[in-house]
Structure formats: C-alpha cells, structure tokens
C-alpha cells in the first residue's frame, strides 16, 4: 500500500504538545502507561469538543453535543457501508483575512489548498499508512472565496462573528464541506456533529481552521501543525467521528469497536502508551487522537463504517431528515 510521499513527510514536522480543554469521562490510567508531556495542559470539562488546540491555549472549545445527549449522538443505525471512494464531497474553501488579498497571496493560498486536498484524499483513501482503512469519501474543490473581514478572521467558536461569517459565506447544503480558513480563534480548528441539522443548526456547519495549518503553511509560529492533518481531523468530526479518547476507558468509548480504548488524549508521538486495562495500546496513530501531525496517519475500518452510517443518516439528503 502506498505510504506518505517524501513531500508529505518533509512537511510534517517535529514534536509539540496539543492540549484538549474539554475532555470526556475520567478513567483509570495504567501504572505502566506512558504519559504525554502535554497532559498537564488538559483541563476536564463537561462537553465533548470538536477542536484541536495549541499547547497552553486559553481558547474555549465548542461542544460537539451536550454531555447528557451523548448516547443519542453515539448510537447510529447500522446501514450497509458505502463502497470505497463512492462519495464525492464538494468542498468550498472560504479564505478570510483582516487585509485584502493580493494576487500573489491568492496564488500562494491556491497552492496550499491544492496540497491540502491531496492530504485529505490520501487520508480518506487509506494511502497514508499500511493498515489504514479506505473510506467512501473523496473530496473535490469546487470553489474558493476571498473575504476581507477582521472580525471574521479572528472569530472564536460560538461568537456572533462565527455565525455571521457562516450565514454569509456558506455554500451548498449538508453534502458540501465548507472550510473557513482564518486565524483560528486561538485554536487549530473546530467543527460540529452533523446531527445538529435536526434542530435547525445548519448555519453552524463546516470546519473553521487555522489556514496556516495547511501543508506549506507557517503554522503561525507552530510549524509542527503544518502537515494538513487538522482538516483531516476536523472533517472526521464533520462526519460524526469522536476523539479516540472520548469517554476514557468506558466500554462505549468513541463508539467505534476497533479503536483501542484510551483514557486521555496523547500528544507528541508516545510509542507504547497504554492508558486503559483493556487490550490494545493507545491509538496514537489515529487521525482522531491528539498526537502531532507526523504521528497520525490512519482511520480504522470501524471509523469508515461509522462515517458511512452518519453520511447516509444526516448528510446524503442535504441535511433533510
């Protein structure tokens, strides 16, 4: 199976911690577990978030769903899995900045967006690692928009600026991935579960991400986040995947049977980390953990199945249930 290309390996950079501000259920950690250096930055919370956060960030993460609705959001109807590569997701990039884009800047961003689409399609086709699962999903760029708005550029989750930006720029329907490239609001990116369409919340759909996290970006001083995996991670939430460490060592975990249970988010790339008594080491190479971009390289078959079920139930009809 094809592995990451030399170009992609060159873009992925060295170790740094990612911090999760809103976590899942507390769980017992094995005495022999390898502890990530970023764990001290974690703060427990009542919500399950859909964001990646830079180490030490004070930014507030959005909730994927209220904690008391966890089971409702976790249990999906088991449907026949869609064929690998059978769903083409129209993708729109909305590039937002505080200053007007020059011709040269637009050309640079178009190069980064093309590289990001390759990373996204490699990730969702199982081309990133031996044993990585293929999925039904492929992404195609259909449009790029350019907006100058200082308030939107620094929008944070749940703000009026976020809502105004999305209401103004959003294209398509629930089958369209809208990506908002901004400063990131102190986060690497955030997204929401698609089930919100049942409650008139379609206007918050899409992924907001730090635009400079794309391959070839600067990372705004954090080059370790420039492998393009922030969008892979956040689009996983967009397709209803939880973090691998959701609910800790509890039996339901992330609602995917073939991801080993994980008590805490892992950072850097701690080979051998094992934080739950159940079989299997922590899934540090999974796109839905919090390890660095150079460490994460796969979805599992169970995750592909869950994304397929979520697509059919909440997105395939344009968000109309």
Q: Tell me the C-alpha distance between 19 and 265, whole Å.
A: 8
- Per residue in 218-231, pLDDT tens? 999 888 889 999 99
E-strand ranges in the chain read 48-49, 51-53, 63-65, 87-97, 137-148, 177-182, 187-190, 207-210
Sheet with 87-97: strands ordered across? 51-53, 187-190, 207-210, 177-182, 87-97, 137-148
What pLDDT does 57 receive? 54
E-strand ranges in 10-160 read 48-49, 51-53, 63-65, 87-97, 137-148
Residue 182 within a domain: yes
Please say whether the beta carbons of 20 and 39 come within 8 A.
no
Could you give the number of structural domains in the chain? Answer: 1
Residue 223 within a domain: yes
Domain that residue 173 falls in: 87-241+296-315
Residue 30 within a domain: no
- Per residue in 18-71, pLDDT tens? 222 222 222 233 433 444 333 323 332 334 556 665 555 556 556 666 666 666
What pLDDT does 9 receive? 26
What pLDDT does 60 receive? 57
What pLDDT does 195 receive? 72
What pLDDT does 42 receive? 32
Is 105 tagged catalytic? Answer: no
What pLDDT does 35 receive? 41
Residue 111 within a domain: yes
What pLDDT does 305 receive? 98
Residue 40 within a domain: no
Of 61, 162, 212, 234, which residue is the catalytic one? 234
Nearest residue to 291 (alpha-carbon basis) of 220, 212, 215, 227: 227
Please say whether the beta carbons of 302 and 228 come within 8 A.
no
What pLDDT does 160 receive? 94
What pLDDT does 66 receive? 66
What pLDDT does 192 receive? 86
What pLDDT does 217 receive? 97
Rounded-to-10 torsion of CA 222, 213, 64, 15: -40
Residue 109 within a domain: yes
CATH number at residue 148: 3.40.390.10
**Of all residues in the chain, what percent carry a pLDDT higher than 70?**
75
Over the chain (321 residues), what is each successive 10-residue block's mean pLDDT?
27 24 30 37 41 57 65 85 99 99 99 99 98 99 99 94 96 96 93 74 87 96 90 96 92 93 92 95 95 94 98 87 49
Residue 14 within a domain: no
What pLDDT does 69 receive? 67
Q: Tell me the C-alpha distance between 95 and 308, whole Å.
A: 29
* 229 phi, psi to nearest 5 deg: -80, -10
Q: What angle in degrees, to the nearest 10, is found between the helix axes of 229-238 and 103-124?
A: 60
Please give the structure tokens belonging to residue 35: 């502890």
**What is each CA distance from 89 to 81, 136, 208, in whole angstroms?**
17, 10, 17
Residue 81 within a domain: no
Whole-structure pTM value: 0.83
């Amino acid at each position: 199976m094809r592995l990451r290309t030399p170009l992609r390996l060159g873009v992925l950079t060295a170790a740094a911690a990612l911090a999760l501000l809103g976590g899942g259920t507390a769980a017992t950690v094995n005495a022999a577990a390898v502890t990530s250096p970023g764990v001290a930055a974690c703060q427990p919370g009542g919500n399950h978030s859909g964001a990646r956060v830079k180490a030490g960030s004070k930014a507030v993460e959005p909730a994927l769903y209220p904690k008391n609705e966890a089971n409702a959001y976790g249990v999906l109807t088991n449907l026949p899995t869609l064929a690998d590569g059978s769903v083409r997701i129209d993708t729109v990039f909305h590039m937002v900045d505080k200053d007007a884009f020059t011709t040269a800047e637009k050309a640079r961003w178009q190069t980064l967006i093309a590289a990001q689409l390759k990373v996204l399609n490699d990730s969702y086709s199982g081309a990133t690692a031996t044993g990585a699962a293929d999925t039904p999903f492929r992404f195609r760029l259909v449009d790029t928009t350019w907006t100058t708005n200082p308030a939107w550029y620094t929008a944070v989750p749940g703000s009026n600026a976020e809502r105004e930006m999305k209401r103004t720029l959003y294209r398509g329907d629930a089958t369209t991935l809208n990506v908002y490239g901004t400063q990131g609001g102190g986060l690497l990116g955030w997204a929401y579960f698609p089930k919100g369409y049942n409650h008139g919340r379609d206007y918050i759909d899409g992924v907001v991400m730090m635009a400079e996290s794309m391959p070839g970006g600067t990372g705004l001083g954090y080059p370790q986040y420039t492998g393009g995996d922030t969008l892979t991670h956040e689009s996983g939430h967009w397709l209803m995947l939880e973090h691998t460490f959701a609910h800790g060592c509890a039996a339901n975990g992330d609602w995917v049977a073939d991801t080993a249970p994980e008590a805490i988010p892992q950072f850097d790339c701690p080979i051998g980390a094992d934080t739950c008594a159940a079989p299997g080491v922590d899934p540090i190479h999974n796109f839905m953990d919090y390890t660095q971009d150079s460490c994460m390289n796969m979805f599992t078959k169970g995750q592909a199945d869950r994304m397929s079920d979520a697509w059919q139930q909440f997105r395939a009809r344009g968000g109309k249930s």
